[in-house]
């Protein structure tokens, strides 16, 4: 049912629908049925917006844990067919996760520690990135992160080819 249909339907009009509730002087009068319909519409809209915001702002629980490394897309086309630069928030998944089926999907990545080649200063940092490529050498749960967002995720302590652990 469309929001318009829901908010403006007369299905709830009953015996009190002709009762007029007057407000302040010089204000338009409103029938009880239209008043209840508007309240119902506002309640539905509020619930819809709250649930939508919750879904958009809450990162997933992290069903995958794996190693993460930096990679340089360098403006080349990924396996999804989209070009990307090193500073774009993009990732490559392993073929074992059917990465092409996830083209364009957003993933939340959380740095959970570890790190070869230096101190991992970004533990508990979270970023959002888009799947655009496949990393053939990786196993299930591993992920390649474009250089810019990887730097944001692990901080300056790791060397250029640092490996660290992410939950996503």
3-state helix, strand, coil in the chain (%, to 5): 30, 25, 45
Distance CA 159, CA 151 (A): 10
Bigger pLDDT: 85 vs 18? 85
Q: In degrees rounded to 5, what are phi and psi of residue 46?
A: -60, -45
3-state secondary structure of 25: coil
Least confident of 11-20, 53-62, 111-120: 11-20
Each residue of 24-64: pLDDT tens digit? Answer: 555 555 566 677 788 887 888 888 776 666 555 555 556 89
pLDDT over 50 at 13, yes or no: no
Structure-block tokens of residue 112: 């959970």
pLDDT band for position 90 (cuts 50, 70, 90): very high
When pLDDT is averaged across residues 3-13 and rounded to a whole number, the result is 49
54 CB burial (10 A radius; 0-12, 13-18, 19+): exposed
pLDDT, averaged across the chain: 78
Distance CA 92, CA 109 (A): 12
pLDDT more than 90, % of the chain: 34
Tell me the DSSP string of 26-85: TPPPEEHHHHHHHHHHHHHHHHHHHHHHHHHHSPP----EEEEEEE--TT-B-TTS-B--
- For residues 136 and 95, the answer to whether their CB atoms sit within 8 Å is yes
- Side-chain-side CA neighbours of residue 71 (13 Å): 23
When pLDDT is averaged across residues 131-143 and rounded to a whole number, the result is 92
pLDDT band for position 126 (cuts 50, 70, 90): very high
Each residue of 92-101: pLDDT tens digit? Answer: 999 998 878 8
Q: What pLDDT, on a 0 to 100 scale, did the predictor assign at position 1?
A: 47
pLDDT over 70 at 21, yes or no: no
Q: What is the pTM of this model?
A: 0.62
Q: What pLDDT, on a 0 to 100 scale, did the predictor assign at position 146?
A: 94
pLDDT band for position 14 (cuts 50, 70, 90): very low
């Amino acid at each position: 049912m469309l929001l318009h249909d829901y908010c403006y339907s007369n299905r709830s009009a009953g015996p009190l629908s002709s009762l007029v509730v007057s407000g302040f002087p010089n204000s338009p009068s409103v029938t009880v049925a239209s008043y209840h319909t508007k309240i119902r519409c506002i309640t539905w809209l509020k619930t819809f917006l709250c649930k939508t915001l919750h879904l958009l702002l809450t990162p997933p629980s992290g069903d995958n844990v794996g190693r993460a490394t930096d990679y340089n897309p360098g403006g080349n086309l990924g396996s999804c067919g989209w070009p990307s630069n090193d500073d774009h928030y993009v990732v490559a998944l392993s073929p074992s996760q059917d990465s092409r089926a996830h083209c364009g999907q957003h993933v939340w990545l959380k740095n959970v520690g570890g790190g070869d080649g230096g101190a991992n200063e970004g533990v508990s940092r979270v970023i959002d990135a888009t799947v655009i490529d496949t990393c053939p050498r990786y196993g299930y749960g591993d992920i390649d992160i474009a250089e810019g967002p990887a730097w944001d995720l692990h901080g300056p302590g790791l060397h250029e080819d640092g490996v660290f652990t992410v939950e996503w």
